[in-house]
């Protein structure tokens, strides 16, 4: 799994070119659901999934605290 930081998640989202159709927070919530499903199916190690869920929670907290646009600007400098 190549995503190791909140910044990596933001860059991944931007590179998917979904900014006009889905918000960053919706993307993060959807990613959490996907990871939880992968936990159930055993496709990834629990350690990797736990680490990713923590990153996504951090991202969502930051979005809630300072707003989506500010988060995008912060990590895309």
Q: pLDDT tens-digit profile of 43-73?
A: 677 888 889 999 999 999 999 999 999 999 9
Question: What residue numbers bound the domain in which 58 lies?
Answer: 6-75
Q: How many domains does the chain have?
A: 1
For residue 13, pLDDT beyond 80: yes
DSSP 44: S
Report the largest interatomic distance among the alpha carbons of the chain, rounded to a whole angstrom.
37
- What pTM was computed for the model? 0.85
- Summary mean pLDDT of the chain: 90
Which pLDDT score, from 0 to 100, does residue 66 have?
A: 97
Which pLDDT score, from 0 to 100, does residue 36 have?
A: 85
Write down the residue that tokens 């605290």 correspond to: 65
Helix axes 6-15, 24-41, angle to 10 degrees: 110
Instruction: Please state, as a whole number, how many other Cβ atoms lie within 10 Å of the Cβ of residue 18.
Output: 13
In a domain, 1, yes or no: no
């Amino acid at each position: 799994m190549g995503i190791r930081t909140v910044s990596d998640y933001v860059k991944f989202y931007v590179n998917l070119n979904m900014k006009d159709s889905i918000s960053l927070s919706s993307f993060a919530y959807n990613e959490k659901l996907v990871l939880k499903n992968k936990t159930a199916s055993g496709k990834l190690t629990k350690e990797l999934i736990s680490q990713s869920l923590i990153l996504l929670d951090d991202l969502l907290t930051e979005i809630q605290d300072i707003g989506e646009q500010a988060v995008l600007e912060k990590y895309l400098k």
